[in-house]
Amino acid sequence: MGKLIYSAIASLDGYVADESGNFDWSEPDEELHTYVNDRERPIGTYLYGRRMYDVMVFWESAHTMTALPAFIRDYAQIWRSADKIVYSRTLDEAASTKTRIEKRFDADAVRQLKSSSERDMSVGGPELAGRAIRAGLVDEIHVFVTPVVVGGGNGFLPDGVHLTLDLIAEHRFANGVVHLGYRVTN
């Protein structure tokens, strides 16, 4: 049985994007990106909402951009090798391989997918992750806390949810980012 993991880069005040939708402050350097690559390598399936998929589909062709550093092209290979499920009422066709479109998020279907999966799964984007958290589907939450305060925007975690967590991973990077990984215990 695979785990469902929610992982994101967030500001110290808990946002994945600022009030203007900007997230350039969260761009990982080589050390952080390489660490994330190693954490993502075991992922067999990515779950995305439409907006997160629109951002992530860049990785479909990034491996062909030889001017990009090797650690960036490595992530593109990791991303391309995994299955993707995109939840969208408006998207009819995927712009990447190994991708299927679902018109709505079905918690029971995700629960069945988890139970039959031999590899871990990842849920991307705070809105979809919030739905998965509320449905009790998320097994681990990983946050890469960036040393910046943005003052508002798109929150990393949903409001109105109470979770008990056990710390399972921590790592500090030279650029001041701190990775905290938690297992959901309730």
Radius of gyration of the chain (CA): 16
Classify residue 141 as left (phi > 0), alpha (psi -120 to 50) or beta.
Answer: beta
Look at residue 61 in the predicted model and tell me its pLDDT: 83
Q: Which residue numbers in the chain have pLDDT < 50?
A: none
Instruction: Give the HSE-up count for residue 1: Cα atoms under 13 Å, Cβ half-sphere.
Output: 9
Look at residue 132 in the predicted model and tell me its pLDDT: 98
Look at residue 64 in the predicted model and tell me its pLDDT: 80
Look at residue 59 in the predicted model and tell me its pLDDT: 87
3-class secondary structure, 17: strand
Separation CA 131–CA 161 (nearest Å): 10
Look at residue 174 in the predicted model and tell me its pLDDT: 98
Handedness of CA 36, 63, 45, 42 (dihedral sign): negative
Name residue 140's beta-bridge partners.
Answer: 5, 183
How far does CA 15 lie from the centroid of its chain? 14
Instruction: Give the HSE-up count for residue 60: Cα atoms under 13 Å, Cβ half-sphere.
Output: 14
Amino acid at 162: H
Looking at domain 4-184, does it have CATH number 3.40.430.10? yes
Residue-by-residue DSSP string for 34-93? HHHHHHHTTEEEEEEEHHHHHHHTTHHHHTT-TTS-HHHHHHHHHHHHSEEEEE-SS--S
pTM above 0.85, yes or no: yes
How far does CA 47 lie from the centroid of its chain? 8
Amino acid at 25: W
Instruction: Give the HSE-up count for residue 36: Cα atoms under 13 Å, Cβ half-sphere.
Output: 26
Look at residue 65 in the predicted model and tell me its pLDDT: 80
Domain map (residue ranges) of the chain: 4-184
Q: Would you mind telling me the total number of residues written for the chain in this entry?
A: 186
